[in-house]
Amino acid sequence: MRTVLQRVSSASVMVEECIVGEIGRGLVALISVEEGDAERDAIYIAEKIATTRFFNDADYKMNLSVLDVGGSVLAISQFTLHGDCRRGRRPSFVSAAKPEIAVPLYEAVLNRLRTYFKLPVATGIFGAHMQVMLINEGPVTLLLDSRKIF
């Protein structure tokens, strides 16, 4: 699984001109599932989202997690994170998992964030054309990969 995490002061996602998810202070998590991913990948990504220290403490050091600051998560499915642009001009998405694999693993991340970590989680709609609006605070943007490629 790959995830792009952005620290935000607010964010929302629209589908067909209707807001379907929004948060205040917290993290936007763009999540992509890869062929071969399993439950352990979902657990790894959820734990990183919940516990990585993205927020500044009183000394302006990134020592606080989204849990520590009482923040929320806006989780968006985004298979294009597994786009391969190394050859040609059109990205290849062959390594992105098919929906029958991706949906349950994406939902496993959401479930773990909500039940185990008790985080408020808003979402987009899997597979829909979405418009994501956010105010990236910092800016702070980090990449996660459950296979630890980066």
Confidence band (pLDDT; 50, 70, 90) for 122?
Answer: very high
Catalytic residue from among 6, 54, 55, 79: 79
What's the CATH fold of domain 2-136? Answer: D-tyrosyl-trna(Tyr) Deacylase; Chain: A; (3.50.80)
Catalytic residue among 80, 115, 131, 141: 80
Question: Does residue 79 carry a catalytic annotation?
Answer: yes
Q: Active-site residue 78, yes or no?
A: yes
Residue ranges covered by each domain of the chain: 2-136
56 CB burial (10 A radius; 0-12, 13-18, 19+)? middle
- What's this model's pTM, rounded to 2 decimal places? 0.96
Secondary structure element (H or E) that encloses residue 49, with its range: helix 39-51
Residue 30 has pLDDT above 90, yes or no: yes
103 class by beta-carbon count within 10 Å (0-12 exposed, 13-18 middle, 19+ buried): middle
